[in-house]
Every structure is written in C-alpha cells, then in structure tokens.
Amino acid sequence: MEDKLTRIGIFYDGNYFYNVSNYYYFNHSRRARISIEGLHRFIRWQVAESEGTDERYCQVVDAHYFRGRLSASEAQDRQLLYGERVFDDVLMRAGVTTHYLPLSGLGGKRIDVWFALEAFELAMHKRYTVSVLVTGDGDYVPLVRKLNTLGTRVMLLGWDFAYIGQDGKERTTRTSQELIEEVTYPIQMSGIIDDRAHRNDLIINNLFFIPRQEQISARTEVDTKTSVPEPEQGRVRWFDTEKGYVFLLRPNGDDLFLHHSAFDGDASVLKQDDEVEYVIGLRDDDGRPIARNVRLLKENRTG
C-alpha cells in the first residue's frame, strides 16, 4: 500500500494566488473566488490523471501558504484585518499551514526564499511523489531543478490572463516559460477553466465558491421580504471624479463600485480614505454589487 500511495505536497505563492483569486472575483465572468478545498480536490484528480493511478491513492499530505503580511495595526488602519482573518480561517479549515513575514523592506524576497527552502526540505524528508507549486515566478526554476534531483515530480499550476485595472491600465499575469519547461506536469489553469468543453465538469466548477451574484441575489430576496438592508461603513479607496467613478474599500477587504449618482451630495468632494456609509445593491447590467445611498461620515483632510 505504501508503494501505491502518491504523496502530494502543495506550496502556495500567496501573493500570486491572491492576485489570481481577485481576478476571478472582480474581472472574470465567474465572479467568484477560488475555493482552496476545491483546488485540492482538483489537484488530487489531476495528479491521478498525470500519474496514471487511482485518485484514492493520491493524497495531499502537506499544504503550505507563504506571503508577506502587513502588521496588525497597518491592516486595521486599511480595514483589511477582518478579511485577512477570514482567509486564515479558510486556510485553517483546509489544513494549510501558513508562513508569514513582515511586508516591509526585504520581506517580499525573503518569503520567496523561505518558500523554496521549505519546499525542498519537506520533499527531501517526507518523500513527496509530486510537489505542486502554485506560482508563475521564474525565480523558482532552481527549486524545481533541486526537486528533480530528489526524484520528486513537480506539477505547476499557472495562470495567464489580462484585464484592465481600476486605474485604466492593462494588468497582465503570465507564467514563466522557463518554469513551464522545467516542471514535469505544467498545468495551465486559465485554459482549463475557460475551455467550454469543461463548462459542466463538476471538478472544474468546484474550483470556485458559489458566484457572488447568486449569493447576493438569494440573500436580497430573503431580506427584502423581512427588512430594509443594513447599512455598511467603508472608506474611499480610489476615484476618478471626472468620469464619475469611485471605488470603496469594504470592511472585508473587497472593493465596491460607487457611481456619483448614488452619493448624497457632490461626489467631487470625496477624498481618499474618507469614511462613508452605504447599502449594498446590485448593478442592473451584470448583477455585481454596487454601493447605493452613500453618505459621507468623516472627511480625511490630512493629506
């Protein structure tokens, strides 16, 4: 049985995964975040396919998440603390071990070094059959080569996508070609997810939480029968008052669109970090969340 068992170790480049999850939540038609547990089920299935074995013999024995992190006071000032804690709960329930370093100075590069050292040491001592890297960074090529010397096969989960950011500039994420060529099993997740042949595949659809449009619509349908929506407080994060676009930062760390017509007053007076109160509504065109009945609570005029 020991010979049959395929041991899987998963290693997340946290900043990379965060950006990928945000892309599917804010910019992709899925309108949903990636499910860690759904991703692990996909990995087991994909490893079984790649290794030519039964999925029952493919088990995730370790999963580790690495990311630079703001201090508690900085996260609280930016209203990100609650969102980080919620995601910690998600990782904990999925059995993922977290590794954080301060997001200052050389913290970003040091977390990459920690990622590589931990992935190599654990593969050496725990004899992973397959090490799965969730990243697109070519800096991990030396790690892959070292894992190859151990006889550990390496699977890479990478994404290629482009979108227009809130500042109107194109943002692009591409997996390093050199990294793709070094690993045993390069898996281009964006292509698999967008392939219409997989549209009804349960293993692919389970990569995501229930789309937020469905969640909000269901909640709104219940709430409107019983009560008026509760107001929420957030901060102004980014704005272009000439075009009438404002984005608010919600307490859970998500961005929320505000059109100037929904503001109680002249939206041109808004400044970054101003505190506002609003209720959550839905866009008429695509059902995405939008701020309505917005009013200014506290002005920030220190800058």
DSSP string, 291-302: EEEEEEEE----
Residue 223 pLDDT: 40
**213 compared with 52, residue with greater pLDDT:** 52
Confidence of residue 287 (pLDDT cuts 50, 70, 90): low
163 close to 27: Cβ distance less than 8 angstroms:
yes
Residue 130 above 50 pLDDT? yes
238 close to 166: Cβ distance less than 8 angstroms:
yes
Phi-psi region of 162 (alpha: psi -120 to 50; beta: other; left: phi over 0): beta
User: 255 forms bridges with which residues in the sheet?
Assistant: 249
Confidence of residue 210 (pLDDT cuts 50, 70, 90): low
Range 97-102 average pLDDT: 94
Q: Do domains 6-209 and 213-298 have the same CATH topology?
A: no
Those residues with Cβ within 8 angstroms of residue 190's Cβ, 6 or more apart along the chain or in another chain = 159, 160, 161
**172 compared with 107, residue with greater pLDDT:** 172
Three-point CA angle 34, 100, 205, nearest 5°:
10
Residue 242 pLDDT: 54
pLDDT (tens digit per residue) in 162-174: 988 766 788 899 9
The two tokens of residue 285 are: 């065109």
Residue 215 pLDDT: 45
Mean pLDDT of the chain: 84
Instruction: Find tokens 């990379």 and name the residue.
Output: 16
* Bridge-based pairing state of the strands 232-240 and 275-282: antiparallel
Range 13-28 average pLDDT: 93
Backbone angles phi, psi at 50, to 5 degrees: -70, -35
Residue 216 pLDDT: 43
Residue 269 above 60 pLDDT? yes
**The pTM of the whole model exceeds 0.85:** no
Q: Give me the sign of the Cα torsion angle 20, 90, 41, 289.
A: negative
- CATH architecture of the domain 6-209 equals 3-Layer(aba) Sandwich (3.40)
Residue 213 above 70 pLDDT? no
- CATH architecture of the domain 213-298 equals Beta Barrel (2.40)
| Extents of the domains making up the chain | 6-209, 213-298
Residue 253 pLDDT: 75
Of 64-78, 87-101, 146-160, 243-257, the poorest mean pLDDT is in 243-257
Confidence of residue 106 (pLDDT cuts 50, 70, 90): low
pLDDT (tens digit per residue) in 223-240: 433 344 578 888 887 766
Residue 47 pLDDT: 98
Backbone angles phi, psi at 168, to 5 degrees: 85, 0
Confidence of residue 153 (pLDDT cuts 50, 70, 90): very high
36 close to 90: Cβ distance less than 8 angstroms:
yes
